[in-house]
Amino acid sequence: MSGGPPNQSRRMRHDSFKDFVLDQLGEMPELTGKAMFGGYGLYQRATFFGIIHKGRLYFKTNDVTQALYRARGMHPFRPGAKQTLRQYYEVPVDILEDPQALAAWARSAVTLPTAQLPLPFTTAPPQGYDLPAQM
Q: What is the DSSP track for 9-37?
A: HHHHHHHHHHHHHHHHTTTSTTEEEEEET
Which tens digit of pLDDT belongs to each residue from 56-88?
Answer: 999 999 888 999 999 999 999 998 889 999 999
User: With the C-alpha atoms ordered 19, 25, 28, 31, is the resulting torsion angle positive or negative?
Assistant: negative
| 98 touches 20 (CB < 8 A) | no
Q: Indicate the pTM of the whole model.
A: 0.74
Which tens digit of pLDDT belongs to each residue from 5-57?
Answer: 444 444 445 589 999 999 999 988 999 989 986 899 999 998 999 999 999 99
